[in-house]
Amino acid sequence: MSNPIPLLILGAGFSRMAHAPALQKLGPKFRVAGVFSRTREKAQAVASGFAGHVAVFTDLEQALAMEGIEAVDVALPILPASDTIAAALGRGLHVFSEKPIAESVERARALLSLQAGGRPGLVWYVAENFRFWETAWRVRELIASGEIGTPLLCHYPTLVPIKSSQWFQTGWRRTPAYEGGFLLDGGVHDIAALRLMLGEVAEVSAFVRSVDPELPPADTLVASLAFESGIVVNYSVSYALEQVRLSPWGVVRAVLSGSARPIRDRFGRKHIVGTRGSIFFMHDRVELVRGLKRTVIKVRSNDMMVQQFEDFRAGVREGRPIRNTPQEALRDVAVIEALLTAARERQVVRPARVEQETQP
């Protein structure tokens, strides 16, 4: 494919695991021209995965001053990411950045002002894979088609033994310099999925607690979210679970014996109740229950990072509306910020309003 987007990758940690493989799959749609990391070896490791000459930088200002690039892929920790997005937008570069959009609503709005004041057609894409989650889209379709009647309530648990994951190993996550810690960093995924399925959040109340001192400032939240449609959601999340050690053979035996449900329930089985039926869902499975009839829908898996880069390219090269606008990402952060405020002030809080975006 002709006319690839010359791209600069900023960050060689998460990008090496997720962004670089997606860009490699997309081949001629992008041309990775350079890679920045504070550690030269990490930058070189990412650069070596792409054909042709790829410049390596350990100085961010030098990287952003590279001639010939049209876009940057910002995969940096939350606070430096905000500053880097501001610098890139100020240079008139298209931006693909990781979620959350910023550490706060206030900071996100300042960045949006920079984009609005930039050159016409400047695209800022805030990656949020849950807006490409096929399970959420299938649930949305079932609700819209009236399969469960009027949605009444939703139970949405997210239970993660985060200390057993690679995400716990990053120092900036273990000592966050922004409000919410994992409740913000991971919580925007849940809010994106809930908003995709159920619409906009009108008001929230919440309780927050800290169980594990290694997960500051808090690791557990239970909240009620009232949506504009009328449905009420119980959103419960904890990152303080102890790891469950499961051997591959143990998982196979559980599935074959029909006893896998305890495993699913341990990490959160979502449930929407309507006047005519219910929907249960997890990562790749949706169950529609009406009366005594249960219909199981297996949802195909897809490479959501590839889809997001393709969506970004369509916005840059063809001027198409993009799915992951910064305004959508700002609405996710606004809900999390409202939840944290509601817990702190012990009152019902309305999320900050976000103006409707205008599509190119």
Average pLDDT, the chain: 92
Structural domains in the chain plus CATH codes: 5-129+304-322 (3.40.50.720), 133-298 (3.30.360.10)
Write down the pLDDT at residue 167.
75
Residue 190, pLDDT above cutoff 70: yes
* pLDDT reported for residue 358: 44
Predicted pLDDT of residue 359: 41
Q: Give the separation between CA 147 and CA 160, rounded to whole angstroms.
A: 31
Mean pLDDT score, 81-106: 97
Q: Quick one: pLDDT band at residue 170, thresholds 50, 70, 90?
A: confident
Rounded-to-integer distance, Cα 21 and Cα 305, Å:
9
Residue 94 to residue 77: CA distance in whole angstroms: 19
* Tens-digit pLDDT profile for residues 39-63: 999 999 999 999 999 999 999 999 9
Specify the pTM: 0.93
Token output for 44: 């070189």
Measured between alpha carbons, how far is residue 261 from residues 243, 249, 285 in Å?
17, 16, 12
> Region 284-306: what's the mean pLDDT?
95
CA distance 343 to 349: 9
d(CA 290, CA 28): 48
The mean pLDDT value for 270-298 works out to 96
The answer to whether residue 26 scores a pLDDT higher than 90 is: yes
Distances (CA, A) of 355 to 47, 98, 170, 319, 331: 39, 21, 34, 21, 10
pLDDT band at 37 (very low <50, low <70, confident <90, very high): very high
Predicted local distance difference test score (pLDDT) of residue 261 = 53
Q: Which of 236-245, 263-272, 288-297, 325-334 has the lowest mean pLDDT?
A: 263-272
pLDDT at 356 over 70: no
pLDDT tens digits for 241-273? 987 666 666 666 665 555 555 555 556 789 999
